[in-house]
Amino acid sequence: MIAVDFPSIQNLVEWKNIFGDGTFFAFNKIGLISVLALLIPVALFLFAKKDAVPRGLQNVTEGAVEFVENQVIMPTIGPDGMRFLPLLLSIFLFIFFGNIFEVIPTFNMPANARMANPLLLAILVWAVFIFVGVKNHGAKYFIEIIWPPSVPVGLRPLVGLIETLSVFILRPFGLAVRLFANMLAGHILLVTFGWLCVVLFVPNALAAILPFSFAMLVLLTGFEIFVSFLQAFVFALLTAVYIDSSLHPAH
Amino acid sequence: MSVLATIATETLELAQEANLTADDQKGIAGAAGAGMAYGLAAIGPGIGIGYLVGQAVQAMARQPEAAGAVRTNMFLGIAFTEALALIGFVVFILLKFA
Amino acid sequence: MLLAILAADEAPKEVVNPIIPEVSEMFWGGLSFAALFMLINFVLLPPVQRAMRDREATIQADKDAADAARAKAASAKADADDEVADVRAEASAVVDTAREEAEAERQRLLARAEREVAAMKEIAEEEIARDREDALLQLRPQVADLAVNAASRVVSRPIDANAARPVVDRVLNS
């Protein structure tokens, strides 16, 4: 029986504190990636020229803005959702650049594979869509969820309970868990095949598996780039859907 | 369910026979349960996403002009369906490391 | 220091569930996101959006101008087409009248020529008839002499030419 010593998950996702060890502002790799996920979008916006004819970096910045406008806001909220563009754009960029460090050498860690950032953003989105609902519909917003007037009276307690659970608990939970689990799963996959490439470099028959694990590593790296983008897109898209459901509750 | 129960009890019996400590036994049972939890949680969403994407591709092939709307809704559907598998993954981690 | 932050933590720590978020990571993440949102909302996005809106307006204006120019060109082309059609119609009318005139002239000339030809033919026929008449008249005495000679040989005695004359004329005229 051949066994491979797989590193414990603690060694895959937890990082040394570089300063402030033990305090609330302890700074580790995740903090560094979070700060970079702030600095890179800011640099994108700062160094992009504002020419009439976009060239170079300006294409990237305006492409991101246009992507959020056309693919996230327009299909869900519609034209009156443009006032949420700054929020959705910063969510999209922050998550994307937090994710993409998963495949950047020497980092090899998505910030969102830790629960901190996803949970924070999910709570923010939760607060935003409740705020938007209350602002647009007042107390009626809660009443229509807890005691939905569009279903028969007999079913209202049941449907209301399900709706309340799904809107106020499952939505933020789902948002956070979706992002976190996707990134953690991708990270573990990459680590698994990377680790296999290392431990299978042995002078016996087991080395025959090495090319396959290397091919898988290359394929999965490409796949994870796609997933990094897709998860940022899905998070922003779901945020837009939730905001839309607060703006125009379904009847 | 009886199969799962059998596997779990047999794993536990094997662990007891090997004179493992209670923590080790807990770890072994947790690992077995974790693997099972994720495997089972992946079945439904796997079928669901396959069906969903298949239908979406069919819709796009029939109405290429509606491809944009179909794609957006496809991603939304995938996100909701996939959440089940991801909850399974989280349960896996909870069972394995709790 | 940077390298130290990138290296994996090798020291085994106490087992903590990886799902539980860490406060310090939330602090840095929240700080970064808040800063990003504030910067994008108030500082970074407006100029980019303004640039995009300006470009859209420019493109729209250019498009409108192009549409106007195209409409103008189309109307000019329609005018020119009308003119060309008019001229062409005029030209064809001129050609038609010319052709009709030419045809009429031709018919007239043809008729005249035919008439002339007919007249000339008539004259010629008259002349021919007259010539034949003349020739017959000239021939008649000689024929009569020949006939009288021949007849006198047959009867072997001289015949009075003047007496035979009416007989010869009667034969020739019959």
pLDDT, tens only, B39-58: 898 999 999 999 999 999 99
Q: Where are the beta strands (DSSP E) in chain A?
A: none
Buried b (16+ CB within 10 A) or exposed e, B10-49: ebbeebeeeeeeeeebeebbbebbbebbbeebbeebeebb
- A114 and C22 in contact (C-beta within 8 Å)? yes
- B91 and B37 in contact (C-beta within 8 Å)? yes
| pLDDT for residue B88 | 87
Chains that touch C (3 or more CB pairs under 8 A): A, B
- How much is the average pLDDT of C84-106? 94
pTM of the model: 0.75
Among all residues of chain C, which has the CA nearest to that of B94? C17
- As for the ipTM of the complex, it is 0.90
Residues of chain C contacting residue B94, judged by C-beta atoms under 8 Å apart? 17, 19
CA–CA separation, A226 and A230 (whole Å): 6
Testing the interface with A: which of C15, C31, C32 to mutate, by most A Cβ within 10 A?
A: C32
Residues of chain A contacting residue B76, judged by C-beta atoms under 8 Å apart? 234, 237-238, 241
User: What's the structural domain count of chain B?
Assistant: 1
Which amino acid, one-letter code, is at A55? R
- How much is the average pLDDT of A83-106? 94
Cβ of residue A14 closer than 8 Å to a chain C Cβ? yes
Cα-trace Rg, chain A:
22
Among all residues of chain B, which has the CA nearest to that of A233? B75
DSSP H helices in A54-155: 57-67, 85-100, 116-137, 140-146
| pLDDT for residue A243 | 94
- pLDDT level of residue C1 (50, 70, 90 thresholds): very low
Rounded to the nearest integer, the mean pLDDT of chain B is 84
Number of CB pairs, chain A paired with chain C, less than 8 A apart: 149
CA–CA separation, C75 and C14 (whole Å): 84
Cβ of residue A198 closer than 8 Å to a chain C Cβ? no
| pLDDT for residue C149 | 84
| Residue range of the domain that includes B72 | 3-97
Do residue B97 and residue A178 have CB atoms under 8 angstroms apart?
A: no
CATH number at residue B26: 1.20.20.10
Testing the interface with A: which of C10, C14, C25 to mutate, by most A Cβ within 10 A?
A: C25
- pLDDT level of residue A1 (50, 70, 90 thresholds): very low
The shortest C-alpha distance from B62 to chain A (Å) reads 20
User: Would you say residue C16 has pLDDT above 90?
Assistant: no
The shortest C-alpha distance from B4 to chain A (Å) reads 25
